[in-house]
């Protein structure tokens, strides 16, 4: 039986963005962040970089930051940004 992984969610978010389906991509990224939790910024970021496409990657990164803030994970996002990725 097929089960989605965080890798498939990340690839799908890039696909959605490439096809101008921004609200759906943002919802999917919010779902990923909510499932991964507070300390997940570096692993989610690495996964997004691993699956990145050629279309509008800035939207993916912006959406990830917004998702962490919306879910109240601001401290972890600041810590992650301090790593200078």
* pLDDT tens figures, 17-36: 888 898 998 898 888 888 87
Instruction: Tell me the percentage of the chain whose pLDDT exceeds 90.
Output: 5
Whether 15 shows a pLDDT value over 80: the answer reads: yes
Calculate the average pLDDT of the chain. Answer: 77
Residue 41: φ, ψ to 5°:
-55, -45
How many CA within 13 A on the CB side of residue 64? 27
Packing angle of the helix pair 74-82, 41-50 (nearest 10 deg):
60
């Amino acid at each position: 039986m097929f089960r989605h992984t965080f890798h498939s969610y990340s690839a799908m978010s890039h696909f959605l963005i490439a096809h101008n389906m921004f609200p759906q991509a943002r919802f999917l990224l919010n779902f990923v962040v909510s499932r991964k939790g507070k300390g997940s910024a570096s692993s989610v970021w690495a996964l997004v970089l691993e699956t990145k496409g050629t279309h509008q990657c800035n939207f993916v990164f912006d959406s990830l930051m917004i998702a962490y803030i919306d879910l109240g994970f601001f401290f972890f996002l600041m810590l992650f940004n301090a790593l200078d990725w």
